[in-house]
Amino acid sequence: MKPLDLLHKVYGFTSFRPGQEVIVESILAGHNTLAIMPTGGGKSVCYQIPALMMDGLSLVVSPLISLMKDQVDHLNQLGIPAAYINSTLSAKEMQTRLADAARGVYRLLYVAPERLESDRFRQLLYQVPLSLITIDEAHCISQWGHDFRPSYRSLAQWISTLVQRPIIAAFTATATQEVRNDIAQLLSFQPKHIFVTGVKRENLAFSVFHGENIRDFALQYLREHPTDPGIFYCATRKEVDGLHQFLRSRGFSVSKYHAGLTENERQQAQEDFSFDRVQGMVATNAFGMGIDKSNVRFVIHCQMPRNLESYYQEAGRAGRDGETSECILLFSPSDVQTQKYLIEQSHMAPQLKQNEHQKLTEMVRYAHTQACLQETFALYFGDQPGKSCSNCSNCLDEGERTDVTVEAQKI
Choose one: 9-17, 145-153, 179-187, 270-278; the region binding ligand ADP (CB under 6 A).
9-17
Element (H, E) at 82: strand 82-85
Q: How far apart are CA 100 and CA 104, in angstroms?
A: 6
Pick between residue 44 and residue 303 the one whose CB is nearest to Mg ion: 44
CB-based burial label for 30 (10 Å; 0-12, 13-18, 19+): exposed
Q: How far apart are CA 68 and CA 257, in angstroms?
A: 19
Pick between residue 24 and residue 218 the one whose CB is nearest to ligand ADP: 24
Binds ligand ADP by CB under 6 A, chosen from 26, 32, 39, 313: 39
CB of 64 to Mg ion, least distance (A): 10
Per-residue CA distances from 230 to 293, 297, 321, 325 (Å): 10, 5, 13, 9
What would the x/- binding string for Mg ion be over residues 11 to 50, using CB under 5 A?
Answer: --------------------------------x-------
Name residue 107's beta-bridge partners.
none
146 binds ligand ADP (CB under 6 A): no
Binds ligand ADP by CB under 6 A, chosen from 6, 16, 287, 378: 16
The answer to whether the beta carbons of residues 134 and 63 sit under 8 Å apart is no
Element (H, E) at 184: helix 177-186
Pick between residue 41 and residue 198 the one whose CB is nearest to ligand ADP: 41
Q: How far apart are CA 62 and CA 110, in angstroms?
A: 7
Q: Which residues of 171-183 are buried (b: 16+ CB within 10 A; e: fewer)?
A: bbbbbbeebbbbb
CB of 321 to ligand ADP, least distance (A): 7
Pick between residue 11 and residue 158 the one whose CB is nearest to ligand ADP: 11
CB of 311 to ligand ADP, least distance (A): 16
CB of 250 to ligand ADP, least distance (A): 32
CA angle (253, 255, 259) in 5-degree steps: 165
Binds ligand ADP by CB under 6 A, chosen from 26, 43, 108, 312: 43
Binds ligand ADP by CB under 6 A, chosen from 27, 36, 45, 101: 45
CA angle (315, 284, 142) in 5-degree steps: 65
Q: How far apart are CA 170 and CA 287, in angstroms?
A: 23
288 binds ligand ADP (CB under 6 A): no
Residues 296-335 within binding reach of ligand ADP (CB under 6 A): 320
Name the residue type at position 312.
Y
SS3 label, residue 370: coil
CB of 28 to ligand ADP, least distance (A): 16
Give residue number: closest CB to Mg ion.
Answer: 43
DSSP per position, 323-336: S-EEEEEEE-HHHH
Q: Applying CB under 6 A, what is the total number of residues that bind ligand ADP? A: 14
- Name the residue among 201, 206, 398 with its Cα closest to residue 301: 206
Find which of Mg ion, ligand ADP, none residue 45 binds, CB within 5 to 8 Å per kind.
ligand ADP
Name residue 255's beta-bridge partners.
281
- Name the residue among 356, 368, 378, 388 with its Cα closest to residue 312: 378
Pick between residue 43 and residue 107 the one whose CB is nearest to Mg ion: 43
294 binds ligand ADP (CB under 6 A): yes
Q: How far apart are CA 52 and CA 328, in angstroms?
A: 39
Pick between residue 32 and residue 313 the one whose CB is nearest to Mg ion: 313
Find which of ligand ADP, Mg ion, none residue 8 binds, CB within 5 to 8 Å per kind.
none
Pick between residue 136 and residue 356 the one whose CB is nearest to ligand ADP: 136
Residues 365-384 within binding reach of ligand ADP (CB under 6 A): none
Q: How far apart are CA 165 and CA 160, in angstroms?
A: 8
CB of 293 to ligand ADP, least distance (A): 10
Pick between residue 46 and residue 372 the one whose CB is nearest to Mg ion: 46
Q: Applying CB under 5 A, what is the total number of residues that bind Mg ion? A: 1
The residues that touch Mg ion, with contacts defined as CB under 5 A, are: 43
The residues that touch ligand ADP, with contacts defined as CB under 6 A, are: 13, 16-17, 20, 37, 39-45, 294, 320
